[in-house]
Amino acid sequence: MRWACFAGKMGMLLVPIVYLTLPPMAPGQDTDQDKARPSAPKVAGSGRAEETAQAIDDEYNRRLLHLEQRRLQHLGRLAARQQPALAAATYERLFRLAIAGDVFRDAGAAADKVVEQGTPSPTTDALAHLVKIVAEVDRGAFEQSLQSLRRAIAESTQERQATAARAALAPGEVIGICEAYYQRLVEGNQFAIAREAFRLVLEQPYSPAVKDFLASRLKRIELVGKPAPPIQGTDLDGKVFNLAEEKGKVVLVVFWASWNLPSAAQISWLEQVRDAYHKRGLRVVGINLDAHDESGQKLETVLPNIRRFLLDYNITWPTLVNGSGDRDFAKAYGISDIPANVLIGRDGSVVQIDLSRRNLEPVVSRLLGQ
């Protein structure tokens, strides 16, 4: 089993966030993105932002967004007046920036234009299709995104240059785009569409790395609505944990490793939700993956790191170490990269997968009838 660590929705494809198709801004005008962001805390009576690290980061990000917005608006205007070959190169740059920055919706108009009109570049056309699909999900057009996916696949099988276009996309790019699509569908509870979409994409002639990624995501999607695979064993405190005995409660299974920084970043908001809903029936259990099957390290070698992590972050929920055979919980749940989590309902069935900070509490609250 291969393990990968994705930092955010787009894996390791991290560049400054960019915005492509928003109208020019008047001085002092806020974008929709700015309005959606929490405002920096204010000092009572001071009228100015409190000087905290978070306030500084928020201000920096706002200014960075404005700068990137202008640059990409200029690129869009440039592509519109260029000859086809040069325009294709400019559009390709826009699409790659949108993919790397996870801002598909803001590239949607450009993608629509390229999909309908085409360019001399099969790579640009392929990127346009992919950006269009995810941008539609961002607009809430889930079924339309599936139709666009079918169209993209149909056209790619008919074009003579389709193989060359796919070859121009690095496996990491394809995985990043599929991850963005996956996360949006999962967060929108669109599991039927996600199942069909990932089955369609898995049939395409991608590289083994992409195929492995798609297969693991599809396995996870197909868990939803089915009885949760068994989890039974002794935690690191020597206490027995058996998922089957937790029926009647809502259980969040968190897969993590001590070397995975997103796992550390998750701790505070997971604990906040756990503390708020523990008395109402929420349980959390951790599955540690430090001694996974590719590392070659024995449990006794990594155990000090695991215990140190639990101590440093004051983690009090039961933690089991992933093993082999019937103790390979990661394999049973289709976990090939972390962080990852699975939410199990009162009846023991999988209800939701890969919850984020944004949707964990609302989903838990709904399940507990709050």
User: What is the domain-level CATH number for residue 291?
Assistant: 3.40.30.10
Given this model, what pLDDT does residue 297 score?
66
- Shared domain for 130 and 240, answered yes or no, is no
Using CA atoms, how far apart are residues 259 and 249, in angstroms rounded to an integer? Answer: 30
Same domain, 238 and 217: no
pLDDT (0 to 100) of residue 298: 73
Q: Which of 182, 197, 221 is the last residue of a domain?
A: 221
Residues 274 and 199 in one domain: no
Tell me, what DSSP letter sits at residue 82?
A: S
pTM of full prediction above 0.85 = no
Residue in the block written with tokens 């890969």: 354
Taking each helix axis as running N to C, give the angle between helix 360-367 and helix 261-277, from 0 to 180 degrees, rounded to the nearest 10: 30
At 319, is the secondary structure helix, strand, or coil? strand
What's the pLDDT score for residue 97? 87
- Distance between CA atoms of residues 362 and 370, nearest Å: 9
What pLDDT, on the 0 to 100 scale, is given for residue 167?
Answer: 52
Same domain, 9 and 154: yes
pLDDT on residue 249: 94
Compute the residue count for the chain: 370
The domain tally of the chain equals 2
226 lies in a domain?
Answer: no
pLDDT at 293: 53
49-107 per-position pLDDT tens digit: 457 887 888 899 888 877 777 777 788 889 999 999 999 999 999 999 888 878 888 88
pLDDT (0 to 100) of residue 240: 95
Within-domain flag for 227: no
Give yes or no: residues 214 and 303 share one domain. Answer: no
In sequence order, what are the beta bridge partners of 253?
285, 342
How far apart are the C-alpha atoms of 25 and 66, rounded to whole Å? 9
Nearest to residue 113, comparing CAs of 138, 141, 94, 137?
A: 94
- Domain match, 279 and 194 both: no
Q: Are 175 and 236 in the same domain?
A: no
Picking from 188, 221, 254, the residue at the C-terminal end of a domain is 221
Beta strand segments in the chain, E:
4-5, 232-234, 240-242, 250-256, 282-288, 319-321, 337-338, 340-344, 350-353
Range of the domain at 245: 232-367
Q: Domain boundary at 167, 199, 221, which? A: 221
166 shares a domain with 256: no
276 and 186 fall within a common domain: no
- The verdict on 50 and 124 lying in the same domain is yes
Residue 109 shares a structural domain with residue 209: yes
**Whether residue 198 is found in the same domain as residue 241:** no
Half-sphere exposure of 317 (CA within 13 A, CB side): 21
Is 22 inside any structural domain?
Answer: yes
pLDDT mean by block of 10 residues, the chain; 370 residues: 43 34 39 42 44 83 80 83 95 89 86 92 91 94 95 73 58 88 94 95 88 92 95 93 94 90 77 90 93 65 87 90 90 89 95 90 86
